[in-house]
Structure 1
Amino acid sequence: MDLGDCYRLLGLRSGASFADIKASYRRLAQQYHPDINPDDNKAKDKFIALTEAYKLLLTVVLPEEAVADSSQVSRTGRDHGKTTQRQKTPVTTVTSQESGKPKPPNVLEIEERLKWKTYDQLQRFLQERRFPQAIALAEALADRLSTDAEVRQWLAIAYQIWGRALISEKQLLKAKIYLKKALKTDPHNKSLWYEVQRDFQRLEQIF
């Protein structure tokens, strides 16, 4: 199940807010809940699918209050095959002389926090070998920050890692698809290109 399927199951457009996702799930869950439809297997299957879609979207879409959190965030880069350097993003709390309240963060600050919060979650998914969730998360971030070269690199690396795992699982055709996606997503990354070429060599040896 990809993100598009999740949104469609909940009757929402792609990019719907956390509040909309939650409201739609509650409404549909009440409609298809097994307690309300005890002898209806189709309703039971629908309820299970809705719950899975809801849980997956919760890993991608942050609550509005979390996005608007104005706490100062400073993170260091992570090394994942190729070192990705990230600059500390200063988040300055400015006190208004009139109201005495902190100035809310601007859009760029919010996007930056979302980006690195998502990166941390992506790393956890990859470490736990939860590859479908990792791919869904990276694709959602790439859709939102489509011009960010760093995010594009993360997505390409996620594709490559899953492709490599699929080789080990002897799912060779599927592995080939995701390795090609990695190259297409970040075509100018020479380090990634060499890694993927080695993976293709492994594929040829197995075939």
Structure 2
Amino acid sequence: MDLQDYYRILGLRSGASFADIKASYRRLVQQYHPDINPNDLKAKDKFIAVTEAYKFLQMVLPPEEIKPQPSEIKINVSSATEVKTQPAAAKTTVISHPPNLEDIEQRLKWKTYEQLQRFLQERRFPQAIALAEALMARLPADAEVRQWLAIAYQIWGRALITEKQLPKARIYLKKALKTDPYNKALWNEVQRDFQRLELKL
């Protein structure tokens, strides 16, 4: 695939800004996530393609493409460069520096996510829960981590219904809702799981 193909996978034209790339990636990942589309192989393939496209573009774009707009003042995690800005008419300067704590935590977050996916696919639910809870303790304000933990609780709750461990299933489904209470897609899934659970009683 060439560079154009990666932009196309994310629904963008070549040369789109990194902010657009990131926004499109987040929207598509939520839409095609395997936990939201269980047993849908097309959604799973799209999820993998979108993730690979985002990671590729993040690696190949030059640091100046990834840096914030001149009106913003912040540290850009993706490019590992500190961006210092002057008033709007002044020139933006980019100063390289070694990875900071925020860079390291972001790498840790995504490595943990990959491991979490493996545990869930292998049905190693206690390990998946422990891993997600540890990451949540480290990054308590991270909305994505909160969502991952809630989904891990829900998947285990659903597995426990199948195993007829109904009281335990109810506990983990409730934990899922409590962990990410504003996630409508998760809420709808958990409500269906509760209906299944009631039918088994």
Candidates 163, 169, 181, aligned match of 1:187 = 181
The alignment covers a number of residue pairs equal to: 125
Deviation at 1:92, TM superposition (A): 4.0
Candidates 70, 80, 91, aligned match of 2:79 = 91
Q: Can you give the 5+ residue segments of structure 2 that lack an aligned partner in the other structure?
A: 1-24, 38-46, 59-76, 83-95
* Identity rate, percent: 70
Deviation at 1:79, TM superposition (A): 1.7
Q: Can you give the 5+ residue segments of structure 1 that lack an aligned partner in the other structure?
A: 1-75, 95-101
Q: How does 1:142-153 map to 2 (within 5 A)?
A: 142-153=136-147
What does the per-residue CA deviation read over 1:98-138, in whole Å, with 9 as the maximum and x for residues that have no partner? Answer: xxxx8420111111000000000000000000000000000
Contact 1:145 1:151 in 2 (8 A): yes
What does the per-residue CA deviation read over 1:133-190, in whole Å, with 9 as the maximum and x for residues that have no partner? Answer: 0000000000000000110000000000000000000000000000000000000000
Contact 1:91 1:109 in 2 (8 A): no
State the TM-score, normalized to the length of structure 2.
0.57
Candidates 87, 90, 109, aligned match of 2:103 = 109
What is the match of residue 153 of structure 2? 159
Task: List, as ranges, runs of 4+ consecutive aligned residues in structure 1 with deviation greater than 3 Å.
Answer: 82-89, 91-94
Candidates 179, 182, 190, aligned match of 1:196 = 190
State the TM-score, normalized to the length of structure 1.
0.55
Find out whether 1:131 has 2:125 as its counterpart.
yes
